[in-house]
């Protein structure tokens, strides 16, 4: 599959067509309407069994372009680290909003066969469920950590052995604040067991807020830049405690860097 991003970085072009200032100022409703149109299109493909990897990437890229049309500015770095990683890997990322779940496919799946570890509630949703189920994710409950660990270790190892990379959000839920104590080492443990590398990912995606009634359908904040950085792949040694700490330190350092950038703009 042809990569959608030719270089190591991607910054939203300054000439990207945006909606009018009036629409952007009152953009959340308009954005959600356009977004749901894309979701139902992907859902129809999934129900027909036609949402393959390429269709998934195209759908994800459409969401990314929609975000840019509604004022979103992407600053993505480290794309070469996806391409240069040795075989299938475990992507370990913080989880801030709906945005990364929807945009990661066009960034990662255009380079590697990949799937997610997701909560069971996501695959059971009437609208989003068929889309996620079509990508054969690893489904966990988030209520029994011991059972979830065994499930991810067993299924994840099988996926990795057949060449499919895995995206894991070790936090229990999406949260703007990054709390290291809530960031478990599931991804590191899986990579260690399967003998593959980990690609740490740091993201700041509070452009897309959490909805009051439906979490995925929250307001958007066009003034907030969207940051994503993919770190160099790392090998797991021993128990992986040192590598887990490095991932946490990496995410903390990027979040601090980006927060300082945003503050300097005010």
Helix (H, G, I), strand (E, B) or coil at 109: helix
What does the mean pLDDT of the chain come to?
A: 91
Q: What is the pLDDT of residue 26?
A: 56
Is 140 inside a domain boundary? yes
Is 2 inside a domain boundary? no
Helices (H), the chain: 21-25, 27-47, 53-69, 79-83, 98-104, 120-123, 129-133, 145-161, 186-194, 241-265
Is 197 inside a domain boundary? yes
Is 1 inside a domain boundary? no
Residue range of the domain that includes 221:
9-265
The domain total for the chain is 1
pLDDT band per the 50, 70, 90 thresholds, residue 14:
confident
**What CATH number does the domain containing 114 carry?**
3.40.1130
Token representation of residue 109: 């799946």
Task: For the chain, give the longest Cα–Cα distance.
Answer: 56
Tell which wins on pLDDT, 84 or 2. 84
Is 158 inside a domain boundary? yes
Structure confidence by residue, pLDDT tens digits, 174-225: 888 999 999 999 999 999 999 999 999 999 999 999 888 788 788 999 999 9
CA 86 and chain centroid, separation: 20
Is 143 inside a domain boundary? yes
List phi, psi (to 5°) of 5: -130, 115
Q: How many angstroms separate the CA atoms of 208 and 211, rounded? A: 9
Dihedral sign for Cα atoms in the order 242, 177, 85, 157: positive
Is 3 inside a domain boundary? no
- 234 forms beta bridges with 198
Q: What does the radius of gyration of the chain's CA atoms come to, in whole angstroms?
A: 18
């Amino acid at each position: 599959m042809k990569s959608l991003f030719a270089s190591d970085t991607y910054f939203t072009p300054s000439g990207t067509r945006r909606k009018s200032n009036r629409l952007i100022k009152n953009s959340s409703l308009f954005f959600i309407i356009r977004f749901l149109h894309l979701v139902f299109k992907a859902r129809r493909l999934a129900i027909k069994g036609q949402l393959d990897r390429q269709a998934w990437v195209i759908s994800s890229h459409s969401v990314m372009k929609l975000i840019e049309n509604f004022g979103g500015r992407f600053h993505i770095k480290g794309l070469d680290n996806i391409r240069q990683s040795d075989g299938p890997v475990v992507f370990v990322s913080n989880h801030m909003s709906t945005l990364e779940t929807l945009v990661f496919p066009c960034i990662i799946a255009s380079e590697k066969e990949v799937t997610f570890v997701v909560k069971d509630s996501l695959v059971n949703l009437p609208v989003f469920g068929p889309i996620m189920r079509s990508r054969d994710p690893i489904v966990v409950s988030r209520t029994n950590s011991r059972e979830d660990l065994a499930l991810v270790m067993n299924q994840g190892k099988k996926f990795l052995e057949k060449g499919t990379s895995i995206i894991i959000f070790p936090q229990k839920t999406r949260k703007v604040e990054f709390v290291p104590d809530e960031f478990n080492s599931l991804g590191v443990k899986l990579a260690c067991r399967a003998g593959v590398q980990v690609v740490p990912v740091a993201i700041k995606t509070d452009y897309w807020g959490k909805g009051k009634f439906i979490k995925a359908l929250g307001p958007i904040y066009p003034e907030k830049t969207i940051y994503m950085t993919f770190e160099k792949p790392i090998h797991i040694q021993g128990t992986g405690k040192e590598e887990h700490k490095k991932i946490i330190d990496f995410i903390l350092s990027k979040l601090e860097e980006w927060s300082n950038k945003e503050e300097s703009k005010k």
